[in-house]
Amino acid sequence: MFKPVLIEPSIYCQLDIVQFKSSCAACSLRELCLPVGLNEDEVKKLDIVSQKRKITRGGYLHHAGTKFQSLYAVRSGFLKTCVLEQDGRHQVTGFHMTGELLGLDAISTDAHTCDAIALEDSEVCEIPFAKLEEISRDIPSLMRHFHKIMSREIVRDHGVMLLLGSMKAEERLASFLLNLSRRFHLRGYSEYNFNLRMTREEIGSYLGLKLETVSRAFSKFQDEEIITVDNKHIQIKDIARLRMKLSNSDVS
């Protein structure tokens, strides 16, 4: 009926949701559940609840403030989330690709706390949260899996806080590129060649830098022959030195 893509176990802990090539419309719960060892019957009883949704480039998956009903699992495409303050301040809080789960922030207040915007045509699965909670009551491994996903988001955020709080511009960009590289690689794409889906300004917002600073850092890396930059296309030529950009500054 459907064929799981072979993914080595170590990757389970990296991807929010392990991807399975599946022809069924109710895709995301299947993905959520299979890695935790559910059998076909158990998966079947979940099929009803999830639903696909397409968002074209530039479109909103959800706005901050709208009522929270569902989590969203990215099936394909690329999205950003950003928080905004009343004073016009705003910040990209994350870039999200296939297999990642959006909307976790909204559980706390039953309303989304950020905008989610597609940076390319994307497809998500909508997972009604109440249903997910209900089902996970019967399936402890699913519940644990969900808790791990939430916890992982907290850990990720702490990593970003470290980046924003203690790294210089070049270190931030190196960290960003290495993170993207790893995530593309995990999904079966090249870790050395990829296209950025976001603008310099969006990268800057995520990294707490102005777009000019981002641009200069890209140029610097290119001058040093660590990467090649051709507008949105990035080639990592010397990943070891890119990693060194992160580690070799002695921070107290």
Partner DNA sequence: GAGATTAGTTGACAAAAATCAAAATAACCA
Partner DNA sequence: TGGTTATTTTGATTTTTGTCAACTAATCTC
**Interacting residue ranges for its own copies, rule: CB under 8 A:** 13, 83, 85-91, 93, 104-109, 113-114, 133-134, 137, 140, 143-144, 147-155, 157-162, 164-167, 205-208, 246-252
Q: Is 225 in the site for DNA (CB under 7 A)?
A: no
Instruction: Provide, rounded to whole angstroms, the least separation between the CB of residue 237 and DNA.
Output: 16
Instruction: Provide, rounded to whole angstroms, the least separation between the CB of residue 136 and DNA.
Output: 40
Which range of residues in 100-108, 128-136, 145-153, 206-214 is near DNA by CB under 7 A? 206-214
Contacts with DNA in 41-100 (CB under 7 A)?
A: 57
Q: 1 contacts which partner out of DNA, its own copies, none, CB within 5 to 8 A by kind?
A: none
- Contacts by residues 91-97 (CB-CB < 8 Å, ≥ 24 positions apart): 91/205, 91/206, 91/208, 92/198, 92/202, 92/205, 92/206, 93/157, 93/160, 93/206, 94/156, 94/206, 95/119, 95/180, 95/197, 95/198, 95/206, 97/183, 97/187
Instruction: Provide, rounded to whole angstroms, the least separation between the CB of residue 177 and its own copies.
Output: 17
CB nearer to its own copies: pick between 30 and 145: 145
Instruction: Provide, rounded to whole angstroms, the least separation between the CB of residue 65 and its own copies.
Output: 13
Position among 212, 235, 244, 247 found at the interface with DNA (CB under 7 A): 212
- Contacts by residues 138-145 (CB-CB < 8 Å, ≥ 24 positions apart): 139/33, 139/36, 139/38, 139/42, 141/36, 141/37, 141/38, 142/32, 142/33, 142/36, 142/38, 144/36, 145/32, 145/35, 145/36
Contacts with DNA in 137-176 (CB under 7 A)?
A: 168-170
Q: 200 contacts which partner out of its own copies, DNA, none, CB within 5 to 8 A by kind?
A: DNA
CB atoms near residue 154 (< 10 Å):
10
CB nearer to DNA: pick between 4 and 208: 208
Position among 27, 101, 117, 209 found at the interface with DNA (CB under 7 A): 209
Q: How much of the chain is in helix, strand and coil states, percent to nearest 5?
A: 45, 25, 30
User: Are 33 and 42 in contact, with CB atoms under 8 Å apart?
Assistant: yes
Q: 212 contacts which partner out of DNA, its own copies, none, CB within 5 to 8 A by kind?
A: DNA
CA distance 124 to 226: 35
User: Which of 125, 77, 114 shows the shortest CA–CA distance to 97?
Assistant: 77
Q: 87 contacts which partner out of DNA, its own copies, none, CB within 5 to 8 A by kind?
A: its own copies
CA distance 135 to 137: 5
Position among 11, 69, 76, 208 found at the interface with DNA (CB under 7 A): 208
Position among 107, 211, 239, 246 found at the interface with DNA (CB under 7 A): 211
